[in-house]
Structure formats: structure tokens, C-alpha cells
Amino acid sequence: MPEQVTKSRSSHQAAQPRFDWRLAAACRDLDPDLFFPIGAAGPAVAQIAEAKRICLACPVRKPCLDWAIRHCQDHGIWGGTTEKERQALRSAVNVRQRPV
């Protein structure tokens, strides 16, 4: 019987999507609205700063940012970056990848 359980767990682990980094995210148990401010001025400024502060200490900040860039997340704070900051990062990557 233990062999079956081990085999079942291994199969389950192999079938899991590559979102495992989310399980270790500092934001995991926080209100998601904090990371999706409305606008970039007024009360949203403090909200963005708080979200970025949480991201700064997050152990999976880089995988989060990588995921957001790869999946073109246009809204919210991901990996400690705003929409505009991710757009700039994507643009910089695109410029570097252009043939000379």
C-alpha cells in the first residue's frame, strides 16, 4: 500500500503546473486587491508602495516577475513591478533580441 501512495504522489507532482512558486509567495494569504490598485495616482500611490514593499521581501519575486512578463500581465503588481515597469522591461528585452 505505501508504494501506491508514493507512486500516486509522484504522478501528482509531475502533473502539477509550473505555478509552484505561488505557494511560497509573500502575497499568498493577503487581499489580492492590494496588488491590483485602481489607477496610479491618489490613494493608489500608497497601495502600490505597500504592494511593492511586500514584494521586496518575497522569496519568489523573480519567478513571479518572470511569469508576469512571459504571460503579458498588464494589470497589477507582479514581482514588485507595476504595469509600466513591466512594459519597459519587455521593451528592453525586445530591443536586445532584435537582429543587428
**Least confident among 14-18, 61-65, 72-76:** 14-18
Residue 66 cell numbers, joined: 518572470
3-state class of 78 per DSSP? Answer: strand
Interval 74-98: pLDDT, tens: 899 999 999 999 999 988 776 666 6
User: Would you say 35 and 68 are in contact if contact means Cβ atoms under 8 Å apart?
Assistant: no
**Among the listed residues 98, 19, 33, the one whose alpha carbon sits nearest the alpha carbon of residue 66:** 19
pTM for the full model?
0.73
The stretches of 19-71 forming alpha helices (DSSP H) are 43-56, 61-70
Give 35 or 94, the one with higher predicted confidence: 35
3-state class of 38 per DSSP? Answer: coil
For the chain, the domains span 21-97
Rounded to whole angstroms, the Cα distance separating 39 from 50 reads: 15
